[in-house]
């Protein structure tokens, strides 16, 4: 374990580290390779649950099923997920298949149907090969174990190159509480959710309403502040399940340890968000854009999103080009109030613009900085007290290659 602020990072922790959780994955034939493509997280008890979903008008069938499940009691006991096929834009048959996935998983795991959530990721517009899904679900219970967190992480990947997982622990009322997460996402990533799936588990005692409010607030400053390519998917979802098995006094915003718990929850979401941005399809570096001095938080976030999503900014980052002109142009087209005489810009520690006027800087040292794996752009508007931060990646030749042949 390593200490970070008010919580401790559990180096080898997974979504099964919080008390009461098991997980696993297997290959059922949805992917052409032998990589895992079906997985599940299971709780020993019905867990308090919350979810946030894509804002894309074309929401995939599994999202409807998961919303319906959580909507009955505010609880889930299992999430089943497949990769390789999104089950999106598949009409009535796709919705029927998603409900069948729920029913089959519930039967195999011995759970009530409405305690099961469903999610899918992969190619849009193709019906699920339900014969393979059924066979995989039948074998899944034997693969769901207290040590199955890594297998679950593998099962949810599509074009991702790396698994994305994090776990922290903190003390509440003398009880040790864990918060853990796993996610996938690499392409079709844009603020307001993305082709990303996120799963957070915790053993804290917290009820559905508080959990939903917390997830929604944290999502706005983490999962909704990343972008890879400006495309918002049909399947985005983040679900959190709380087993309540840590035995702490019930958490709410009136609890003395609420801020500490929120800080740990925020950290888990932020780490997963940054991992998704860094693993953007074809990416060679993580970009972090921060804006200060904005007239409102909404304005700060809008400017961050515009800059981090600019193809020209992303291309300049790929080329290690200290071209602050791309940044100032993106700020100017963000649709937000800007004083064109007071903008400061830094690339890392290199001041390149001050009060909207160019500043001489060492191009050689700046190039060396921009060739690193983490590049920070800092913008100060000098207009107000509000700020925001977002994350993205560079735009590379490899991104075009991957997406030119995604279905093949």
Alpha carbons within 13 angstroms on the beta-carbon side of residue 328 total 19
Annotated catalytic residue, options 195, 201, 222, 227: 195
**DSSP secondary structure code for residue 340 in this structure:** T
Give helix 324-332 / helix 311-318 axis angle, nearest 10°: 170
Run of H or E including 308: helix 297-308
Residue 28 and residue 136: Cα distance in Å, rounded? 5
217 contacts 133 by C-beta, under 8 angstroms: no
* Sign of the CA dihedral running 315, 320, 326, 330: positive
195 among known catalytic residues: yes
Phi, psi of 148 (to 5 degrees): -95, 15
List Cα–Cα distances, 12 to 15, 147, 156, 203, 305, in angstroms: 10, 11, 19, 17, 33
Give the DSSP letter string of 218-277: HHHHTGGGB-SSS---S--EEEEEE--TT-PPPB-TTSTTHHHHHHHHHHHHHHHHHHHH
Residue 287 and residue 23: Cα distance in Å, rounded? 32
User: CB neighbours of 65 closer than 8 A, spacing ≥ 6?
Assistant: 95, 98, 99, 101, 102, 117, 118
Catalytic positions: 195
């Amino acid at each position: 374990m390593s200490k970070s602020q008010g919580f401790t990072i559990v180096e080898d922790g997974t979504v099964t580290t919080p008390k009461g959780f098991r997980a696993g994955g297997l290959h059922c034939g949805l992917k052409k390779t032998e990589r895992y493509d079906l997985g599940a997280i299971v709780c020993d008890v019905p867990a308090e649950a919350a979810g946030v979903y894509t804002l894309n008008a074309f929401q995939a069938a599994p999202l409807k099923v998961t919303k319906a499940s959580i909507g009955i009691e505010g609880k889930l006991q299992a999430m089943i997920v497949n990769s390789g096929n999104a089950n999106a834009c598949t009409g009535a048959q796709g919705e029927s298949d998603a409900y069948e996935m729920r029913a089959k998983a519930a039967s195999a795991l011995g759970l009530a149907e409405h305690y099961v959530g469903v999610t899918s990721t992969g190619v849009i517009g193709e019906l699920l090969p339900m014969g393979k899904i059924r066979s995989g679900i039948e074998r899944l219970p034997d693969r769901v174990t207290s040590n199955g967190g890594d297998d679950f992480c593998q099962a949810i990947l599509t074009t991702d190159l790396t698994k994305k997982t994090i776990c922290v622990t903190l003390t509440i009322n003398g009880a040790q509480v864990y918060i853990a997460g796993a996610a996938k996402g690499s392409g079709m990533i844009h603020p307001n959710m993305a082709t990303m799936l996120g799963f957070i588990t915790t053993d804290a005692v917290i009820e559905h309403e508080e959990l939903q409010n917390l997830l929604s607030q944290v999502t706005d400053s983490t999962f909704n502040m990343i972008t890879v390519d400006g495309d918002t998917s049909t399947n985005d979802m983040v679900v959190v399940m709380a087993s309540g098995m840590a035995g702490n006094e019930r958490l709410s915003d009136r609890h003395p340890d609420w801020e500490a718990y929120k800080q740990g929850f925020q950290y888990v979401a932020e780490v997963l968000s940054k991992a998704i941005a860094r693993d953007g399809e074809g990416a060679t570096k993580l970009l972090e854009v921060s804006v200060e001095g904005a007239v409102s938080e909404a304005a700060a976030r809008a400017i961050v999103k515009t800059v981090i999503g600019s193809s020209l900014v992303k291309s300049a980052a790929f080329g290690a080009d200290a071209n602050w002109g791309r940044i100032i142009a993106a700020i100017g087209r963000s649709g937000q109030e800007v004083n064109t005489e007071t903008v400061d810009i830094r690339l890392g520690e290199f001041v390149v613009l001050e009060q909207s006027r160019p500043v001489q800087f060492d191009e050689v040292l700046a190039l060396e900085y921009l060739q690193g794996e983490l590049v920070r752009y800092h913008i100060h508007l000098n207009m107000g007290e509000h700020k925001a931060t977002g994350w993205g990646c560079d735009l590379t030749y490899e991104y075009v290659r991957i997406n030119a042949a995604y279905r093949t």
